[in-house]
Copies of this chain bind each other. A is one copy, B any other.
Amino acid sequence: MLKYQNQTRLLVAVDCIIFGFDGNKLKILLIKRGLEPKKDHWSLMGGFVQPAESTDEAAKRVLKQLTGLDGVYLEQFYTFSAKDRDPIERTISVAYFALIDIHQYEKQISEEYHAEWFQLDQIPELIFDHSQMVAMAREKLRYKAALHPLLFELLPVKFTLPLLQSLFEDVYETNFDKGNFSRKIISTGLLIKQKDKDKTNSKKGAFYYKLDKKHYKKNFHAVLKFIPNLNNHLEVEK
């Protein structure tokens, strides 16, 4: 096969920011890096892109390795390429964020990786430019979730409105009026009310809802104007 002449080939990696929501706080999953350099330092889950796979496939593979989960929401958001970002050898990294239902995640599987969930305000020092990746992933999540019904991916199949609200509140670091929030969510037509209630948080109990998968794709933009004063919650990027 013909090749391009006189060009330098580079290592290409993927790194995943894996978001989960424990019902109270948004968290990300970190691991203790298994190889030198920076062995045993906290790191995102990542790996080199293999010759036979796209970066999407690489990210899926990596995610499967760490969480055991398939079919997870995964989105490429930025490629990091500073020439000294990896001290050992020039590597460019395509970064992804993933949204998983934290309860489906099998702790056992990950224990061999020494994985741990961290709240966003308690993230330890990370290797390389991984802190910057996390910050950017978080920002992108806010952007995207303001326009698209994305955060449902972090919840179980059945969830209550108060739970959904507390997720939004944690993502946007603000509080919403429950009345206004529930009206807006309901008005998207994305949710189907269930007959049963979750009574773990109150005597009265809160009705469960499910996503209406039919309307889900169709109304993928329906969340615009969800966030009061969105402007205050999206940071300037550059």
Contact = CB atoms under 8 A, between A and B. Distances in A.
Interface of A: 1-4, 7-12, 48-56, 75-76, 78-79, 81-83, 88-92, 94, 143, 147, 217, 220-222, 224, 230-231, 234, 236, 238
Chain A binding surface, main DSSP class:
loop
B76 A56 contact: no
14 contacts: A3-B89, A4-B11, A4-B89, A7-B48, A9-B11, A10-B10, A51-B83, A52-B83, A53-B83, A76-B79, A79-B94, A81-B94, A217-B236, A221-B236
Contacts of A79: 55, 76, 79, 94
A89 B8 CA distance: 13
Contacts of A81: 12, 49, 54-56, 94
Given A7-B11, A54-B83, 7 more contacts: A4-B89, A8-B51, A9-B10, A10-B11, A79-B94, A147-B234, A221-B231
Contacts of A236: 217, 220-221
A12 B238 CA distance: 24
A12 B92 contact: yes
A49 B222 contact: no
A55 B238 CA distance: 16
Contacts of A4: 11, 48, 88-89, 91
Contacts of A78: 76
A1 B88 contact: yes
A46 B82 CA distance: 19
Nearest to A3: B89
Contact of A234 (B48, B92, B221): B221
Contacts of A49: 10, 81, 92
Contacts of A147: 143, 234
A229 to B, nearest CB: 10
A219 B187 CA distance: 30
Going nearest first, the 6 A-B pairs with the smallest beta carbon separation are A9-B9, A55-B81, A221-B231, A54-B81, A79-B79, A8-B51
